[in-house]
Amino acid sequence: MSQEFKIEIISPDKTVFLGSTEEVLLPCYEGQITILKDHIPLITFLRPGVIKISKNEEFYVEDGTVEFSDNNLLVLSTSVQSLKKIKSEQINEMLKEAEKKVLSNQISDKQKYILNYKIETLKQING
């Protein structure tokens, strides 16, 4: 029996990825999780990070919602970008912006937490 399940990544303007896979790595709000087939139904949301489907299919996200049920994984994200398409200058720019924001005092702890993850992920992608 195949160990694959369906995965769908959707952004507001299009379906970014549609396919099936054996395992997905998700940067969830409370930590990274891996989803395999027959996972129990789950709803959770994402922090900035990279969704890893396979070596060639990696996506950068800043936020998003995940639903897994009946061997269908659904990722809704407004900021999803394929790592293949994202350029390093773009990352540098985002990195600069995030670093500037994190230093300002006007943000809440939650925002700081999210921004720190963003910076870390962006650095990892570029490094």
What are the residues binding other proteins (CB under 8 A)? 10-15, 28-30, 40-45, 65, 67, 69-70, 74, 76, 78
20/39 with CB nearer other proteins: 39
Shortest Cβ distance from residue 127 to other proteins (Å)?
Answer: 28
29/97 with CB nearer other proteins: 29
Phi, psi of 38 (to 5 degrees): 65, 30
**What token pair was written down for 35?**
């989803």
Q: How many CB atoms lie within 10 A of CB 41?
A: 9
Shortest Cβ distance from residue 44 to other proteins (Å)?
Answer: 4
31/127 with CB nearer other proteins: 31
Q: In sequence order, which residues have a C-beta less than 8 Å from that of residue 118 and are 6 or more positions away?
A: 48, 62, 94, 98
Shortest Cβ distance from residue 73 to other proteins (Å)?
Answer: 12
Q: In sequence order, which residues have a C-beta less than 8 Å from that of residue 97 and are 6 or more positions away?
A: none
26/98 with CB nearer other proteins: 26
DSSP result, 75-102: EE-SS-EETTT--HHHHHHHHHHHHHHH
Shortest Cβ distance from residue 57 to other proteins (Å)?
Answer: 19
